[in-house]
């Protein structure tokens, strides 16, 4: 997909989705990393506060501790009417879902310091990037013989692939991600949505005739393969996790704070509805609601919905930044992440490359938070590596 100017902006998110991985057999020592008493206290405190947060803000959801400080199970009331069935097995969606807080904290904090936009710089720096990776990002790329004809692959990707990331972490302040849920028609959020610095919308969801509910501001649009129309013939993206989660992922990589609207997270959700069309068979609604509640109670997002319509609603028991930082460091040790235990974010770089020549980005034009982050990482761009055992990153450092 292509990066365009503000107003109608398509953003290519390269599939660095946060995937919850369940870990087993935890102990106090991993390779060279041993958890201190302070580390264990940080994880215990995170889990304890998380449970209270879910109780206070989850509209009936409860969080139950698992076998360690990482594991939690989010459960719905026993009288919850689960309607969604797995199309393959016919099995009705359950009322409880296991999550790993350590994995979530470590993964999402990595996203907050990385770029989620696929670039040519990334493909060039990735070992065998063109032969083993690039062709998978092109529709019918299997016909391109693993991009052995690199010129042809480059021609197909040139329409949608920026040379380098056009944005940096913390570049924007308050951001709103707008889903497509029919619940948007229950509350007039329009003016509130338009008050954000940046508004990110999904696919081709219309604004006209719905502005009092969904607003009219549109800074970015994120398209999945099914809605890309003409661009669909150029690039194919994995939408297994849904455009909504990818939009949140993109927002968290460029914004200080992220609020979400139109994701149907209130009790009583039985089918997937869109505010501009009829009901459709959709995603697993209860699992999605539980996941977004986990994100809110980790301080990643703030949920807005008909039952949470007060713009001044305070998310109770959300962890402080210092608590998240301590839990992240402990989690990285526990999970044996690349660079675990280091204060230096660049220690997570498992591949280091010199940056290609870039157009100069004026530091003075950036927000202070973005400038501070750029100074902290010394101008480095970090790309999460998919399927990397230690969740390392590919990092490009300034050539000077």
- The structure's pTM equals 0.85
**CA 17: distance to chain centroid?**
6
Determine whether 63 is exposed, middle or buried from the number of CB atoms within 10 Å of its CB (0-12, 13-18, 19+).
buried
Gyration radius (Cα) of the chain, Å? 21
Backbone angles phi, psi at 64, to 5 degrees: -115, 135
Copy the structure tokens of residue 105.
């904290």
Confidence of residue 9 (pLDDT cuts 50, 70, 90): very low
Q: In the chain, which ranges are continuous DSSP H helix? A: 37-57, 101-112, 120-125, 129-132, 150-158, 190-194, 211-214, 242-254, 285-297, 321-334, 368-376
How far apart are alpha carbons 317 and 20 in whole angstroms? 22
Per-residue pLDDT reduced to its tens digit, 357-392? 776 666 778 999 999 999 999 999 999 987 777 889
Average pLDDT estimate for 260-272:
77
Q: In what order do the strands lie in the sheet with 255-261?
A: 220-222, 198-202, 172-178, 255-261, 302-304
Q: What residue spans define the domains of the chain?
A: 1-119+162-335
Instruction: Give the per-residue pLDDT at 261.
Output: 96
**What letter would DSSP give residue 308?**
B
Instruction: Give the per-residue pLDDT at 13.
Output: 39
Per-residue pLDDT reduced to its tens digit, 76-135? 999 988 888 888 888 988 999 999 999 999 999 999 999 999 899 999 999 888 888 887
How far apart are alpha carbons 37 and 336 in whole angstroms? 17
DSSP 139-200: TTGGGGGGGTSHHHHHHHHHTT--SS-S--TT-EEEEEEE--BGGGGGS--HHHHHTSSEEE
Average pLDDT estimate for 238-257:
80
How far apart are alpha carbons 271 and 284 in whole angstroms? 9
Mean of the per-residue pLDDT values of the chain: 82
> Is 316:53 a contact under the CB 8 Å cutoff?
yes
Model confidence at 243: pLDDT above 80: no
Closest by CA to 107, choosing from 258, 330, 331, 318, is 331
Provide the 3-class DSSP secondary structure of residue 124. helix
Model confidence at 29: pLDDT above 50: no
Give every CB contact of residue 184 below 8 A, 6+ residues apart in sequence. Answer: 178, 210, 213, 214, 261, 262, 275
Strand 272-274 versus strand 277-280 pairing type: antiparallel
Q: Which residue has the tokens 């709103």?
A: 176
Per-residue pLDDT reduced to its tens digit, 308-353? 999 999 999 999 999 999 999 999 999 999 999 887 878 999 999 9
Per-residue pLDDT reduced to its tens digit, 278-302? 555 556 688 889 999 999 999 999 9
């Amino acid at each position: 997909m292509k990066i365009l100017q503000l107003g109608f902006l398509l953003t290519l998110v390269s599939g660095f989705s946060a995937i919850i991985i369940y870990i087993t057999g935890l102990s106090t020592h991993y390779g060279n990393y041993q958890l201190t008493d302070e580390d264990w206290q940080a994880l215990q405190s995170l889990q304890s506060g998380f449970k209270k947060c879910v109780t206070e803000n989850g509209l009936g959801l409860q969080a139950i501790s698992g076998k360690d400080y990482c594991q939690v199970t989010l459960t719905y009331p026993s009288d919850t009417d689960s309607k969604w069935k797995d199309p393959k097995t016919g099995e009705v969606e359950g009322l409880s879902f296991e999550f790993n807080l350590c994995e979530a904290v470590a993964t999402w904090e990595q996203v907050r310091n990385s770029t989620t936009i696929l670039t040519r710089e990334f493909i060039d720096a990735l070992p065998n990037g063109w032969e083993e990776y690039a062709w998978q990002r092109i529709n019918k790329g299997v016909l391109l013989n693993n991009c052995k004809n690199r010129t042809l692959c480059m021609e197909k990707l040139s329409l949608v692939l920026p040379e380098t990331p056009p944005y940096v972490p913390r570049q924007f302040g308050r951001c709103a991600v707008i889903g497509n849920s029919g619940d948007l028609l229950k509350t007039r959020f329009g003016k509130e949505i338009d008050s954000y610095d940046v508004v990110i919308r999904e696919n081709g969801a219309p604004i006209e005739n719905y502005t009092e509910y969904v607003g009219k501001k549109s800074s970015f649009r994120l398209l999945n393969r099914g809605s890309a129309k003409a661009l669909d013939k150029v690039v194919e993206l994995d939408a297994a996790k849904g455009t909504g989660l990818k939009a949140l992922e993109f927002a968290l990589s460029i914004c200080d704070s992220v609020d979400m609207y139109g994701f149907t997270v209130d009790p009583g959700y039985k089918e997937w509805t869109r505010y501009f069309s009829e009901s459709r068979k959709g995603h697993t609604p209860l699992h999605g609601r539980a996941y977004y509640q986990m994100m809110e109670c980790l301080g990643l997002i703030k949920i807005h919905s008909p039952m949470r319509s007060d713009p001044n609603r305070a998310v109770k028991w959300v962890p402080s930044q210092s608590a998240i930082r301590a839990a992240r460091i402990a989690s990285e040790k526990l999970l044996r992440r690349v660079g675990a235990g280091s204060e230096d974010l660049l220690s997570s770089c498992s591949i280091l490359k010199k940056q290609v020549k870039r157009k100069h980005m004026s530091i003075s034009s950036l927000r202070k938070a973005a400038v501070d982050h750029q100074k902290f990482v010394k101008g480095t761009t970090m790309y999460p590596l998919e399927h990397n055992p230690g969740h390392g990153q590919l990092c490009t450092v300034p050539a000077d």
